[in-house]
Structure 1
Amino acid sequence: MIYVDNNATTRLAEEVAQALAEAYATGYLNPSSQHQLGQKARRRLDDARETILNLVGGEITKFQSDRLVFTSGGTEANNLALFGLGKPSDGQVIISAIEHPSISEAADQLRAQGTTVRQLPVDSNGVVQYEELGNWLTEPTRLVSVMLANNETGVLQPVSEIAAICRHRQVPLHVDAVQGIGKIPVNFRSLQASAMTISPHKFHGPRGIGALVLDDRVKLNPTMFGGSQQLAMRPGTESVELAIGFQKALELALTALPTAGLRMQSQRDRLETSLLGELGPEAMVINGAQALRLPHTSNLAFPGIDRQALVMALDMAGVACSTGSACASGSSEPSPTLIAMGLNEEVISGSIRLSLSRETTEEEIDKLVFHISNCVKRLRRR
């Protein structure tokens, strides 16, 4: 099976599996326990936390103390940011029109509770248009949340420009960086964000753990209660083993990044160019092609072809891909991201997502071109 659905999740790296096995074999106990065995677990957990924080550009010095809160994954971290950052009494929350469901649906809940939620629009390439943001921030604003890179199109967003506006107005900015880590250089301090979400299962790490990185000046209100773990910001017994797996996966991803990023971009470009050559530009559209994109993500539209029929045909041919966000894959509804981009109905209904990884081979790219072109031609004849 050729696996090109890495924006949904990645295969666990062998080195990470080994690190997890060793951690479980060590028999770490509850890191909140006061006895020696508990404190041994606490030291290892704190070491993993500090290492991860440093690797993503957080700082711990005598002048600065950024924090990293472990969660059950990216979805919980995004929810924690939306519900926990800023003063609850403050007014509106601003997100973009192309956020992951863990942001957009959390915002729907805030709206149902009486919070004003506004959406920044995007252009036809899926780039957030932030020109009106400064005017919007004249109203009391609790939080702005904009993703670093879109999970469906891979399009990079103008986070630095948005951060500058937010800093000027002293409004917290949260960045969902889940899809960016391990594919492009990401530095929390350089982003100038107040909070950032990361999740290791997107870079060959374990599922069931994620993190919210916090600037030292930001107050986070808990959304769960019942314990004092993680300064009571996210109570519950932490998994030392998953934190170790998280650390190992991040170390591997950042070590591989300089070569893996270039290789994935070369493979993606060859895939798109080859398919255009096989099918012709009138039969295939690359969504977001004119914008800067993650090196491994390709959102392709085949006008006149039903996206779900194509994904099923490819699955039968031995290719695992998707129509969009895995968190919405059970739905037959069209992509909110592509709708927000203003694309026509034929493009939206014929779009699939291909997402490579550092494990993708040249041979797999050649097979992908063969299977996709064959399936598209066969469906078109029908």
Structure 2
Amino acid sequence: MIYLDNQATTPLAPEARESMLPWLGGPETTGYGNPHSAHRLGRQAEAAVDIAREQVAALFPVGGTVIFTGSATEALNIALRGSDRGRGDKRIAVSAIEHSAVLNTALALDPDCAVLPVGADGLVDPQVGLPDDLGVLAVMQVNNEIGTIQPVADLAERARAAGALVVCDAVQSAGKMPVADADLIAITGHKLYGPKGVGALWIRDGIALDPVITGGGQEAGIRSGTLSPALCAGLGAAVKLSLETQDEDEAHVAALWDRAREMLARWTLNGSAAHRYKGNLNVRRDGIDVARLMSDARQVCFSAGSACASEARKPSRVLGALGLTVEQAKSSIRIGFGRYTTMDELEEGLGLILAAAEAQG
């Protein structure tokens, strides 16, 4: 099996796995303490969480707090639902290609939410019109389906000038590039070679959030629930490794991108070639039956869109926002590669995809 779907999830880094083992909590160990307990085992577990929090905080600007969550979806809900800036007479604005965790939450909070269009290149115009009564702007750094890098800094500057908060989904960018400047930033472990089931929200100093669920308020009074020291440790180790290997990872991914573009020269790139994370290659070939392609090249793990929306069986709304027709969206595939993808794997996997495509005529 050849894995080319790194936007859906990434393999767990061996270093992250090793950091988790002492805290998985078997009876023969002492790593099963509740990190919120006052006794010795609890303090040991709390210390592991504190170390992980410091490791994760290294991703972000100084002057903020990291709280652990169960996922980026939870983190984004806390950011959007916990802020009072998008309530009452204040508006929420989001890009048209936001992840459903942002778009659906924003629409639930503000049915008149302003949806900012993108061009054929998959980018929001930095001078796009913003609502006069803007309270919250949410723009992702790297899109999960097409890999385009949004002009977050330019948009954030305008939003802050209007007195709005800036929320950024940095799920696909964290650990791969410097995280965008925003007021509330969400990440998740399994998109940067960490474990599933853990994410984090960075909150800039001075920003107050209401809890989305009530309980013990273990995380800064904002997020309740017992933390998993193992998951926190895994996320912390993954972040630490990503920061140490960022330049090496970037060069490796760029080399894979160049080779993939050569092999898929007859396919049309979806989204900007210049403003994107190169581990995400979204391409189309008119007339291709993607369902049949995935069946015929079943030895290769790749995607026809976002894994988070794969059960919907609908054409990608992200590709639709670029102006693609339904037929063009349905003939598009996403290839995702990263740190642990070898050149041989990439070439073999793309060779199988190309052979399956050619068999369709």
Q: For the Cα contact (< 8 Å) 2:304–2:334, is it kept in 1?
A: yes
Whichever residue aligns with residue 322 of structure 2, its letter is M
Query: How many Å separate the matches in 2 of 1:369 and 1:34?
Result: 54
Is 1:343 the counterpart of 2:324 in the alignment?
yes
Is 1:44 the counterpart of 2:48 in the alignment?
yes
Runs of 5+ unmatched residues, structure 1: none
Query: How many Å separate the matches in 2 of 1:33 and 1:231?
Result: 16
Residue number in structure 2 paired with 1:329: 310
Q: How far 1:347 moved relative to its partner?
A: 1.8
More deviation, 10-19/40-49: 40-49
- TM-score, structure 1 as length reference: 0.89
Alpha-carbon spacing, 1:290–1:43, altered in 2? closer, same or farther (3 Å): closer
Query: How many Å separate the matches in 2 of 1:85 and 1:202?
Result: 26
Query: How many Å separate the matches in 1 of 2:128 and 2:147?
Result: 24
In the TM superposition, 1:1-382 aligns within 5 A as 1-24=1-24, 25-53=29-57, 55-59=58-62, 64=63, 66-87=64-85, 88-111=87-110, 115-134=111-130, 136=131, 138-139=132-133, 141-186=134-179, 191-276=180-265, 280=266, 284-315=267-298, 318-379=299-360, 381=361
Whichever residue aligns with residue 285 of structure 1, its letter is T
Q: How far 1:26 moved relative to its partner?
A: 3.9
Aligned to 2:136, the other structure's residue is in SS state strand
Q: For the Cα contact (< 8 Å) 1:94–1:118, is it kept in 2?
A: yes
Q: For the Cα contact (< 8 Å) 1:125–1:291, is it kept in 2?
A: no
Query: How many Å separate the matches in 2 of 1:245 and 1:367?
Result: 31
Q: For the Cα contact (< 8 Å) 1:200–1:246, is it kept in 2?
A: yes
Query: How many Å separate the matches in 2 of 1:215 and 1:124?
Result: 33
Q: How far 1:90 moved relative to its partner?
A: 4.4
Whichever residue aligns with residue 159 of structure 1, its letter is V
Q: How far 1:81 moved relative to its partner?
A: 1.4
Q: How far 1:118 moved relative to its partner?
A: 0.8
Identical aligned pairs, as a percentage?
A: 35
- TM-score, structure 2 as length reference: 0.94
Q: For the Cα contact (< 8 Å) 2:36–2:226, is it kept in 1?
A: yes
Whichever residue aligns with residue 147 of structure 1, its letter is M
Query: How many Å separate the matches in 2 of 1:259 and 1:32?
Result: 38
Whichever residue aligns with residue 80 of structure 2, its letter is L
Q: How far 1:338 moved relative to its partner?
A: 0.4
Deviations 1:180-226 (A, max 9, x none): 1122232xxxx331110111101111000000101002111111001
Deviations 1:203-258 (A, max 9, x none): 11100000010100211111100112112200111111111111111111121211
Query: How many Å separate the matches in 1 of 2:67 and 2:23?
Result: 20
Q: For the Cα contact (< 8 Å) 1:120–1:130, is it kept in 2?
A: no
Runs of 5+ unmatched residues, structure 2: none
Q: How many residues align?
A: 356
| Higher helix residue share | 1
Q: How far 1:292 moved relative to its partner?
A: 1.0
Query: How many Å separate the matches in 1 of 2:82 and 2:147?
Result: 27
**Cα RMSD for the two superposed structures:** 1.6
Whichever residue aligns with residue 331 of structure 2, its letter is G
Query: How many Å separate the matches in 2 of 1:132 and 1:286?
Result: 24
Query: How many Å separate the matches in 2 of 1:42 and 1:290?
Result: 44
Whichever residue aligns with residue 15 of structure 1, its letter is E
Query: How many Å separate the matches in 1 of 2:307 and 2:217?
Result: 33
Query: How many Å separate the matches in 2 of 1:26 and 1:96?
Result: 47
Q: For the Cα contact (< 8 Å) 1:122–1:129, is it kept in 2?
A: yes
Aligned to 2:137, the other structure's residue is in SS state strand
More deviation, 344-353/117-126: 344-353
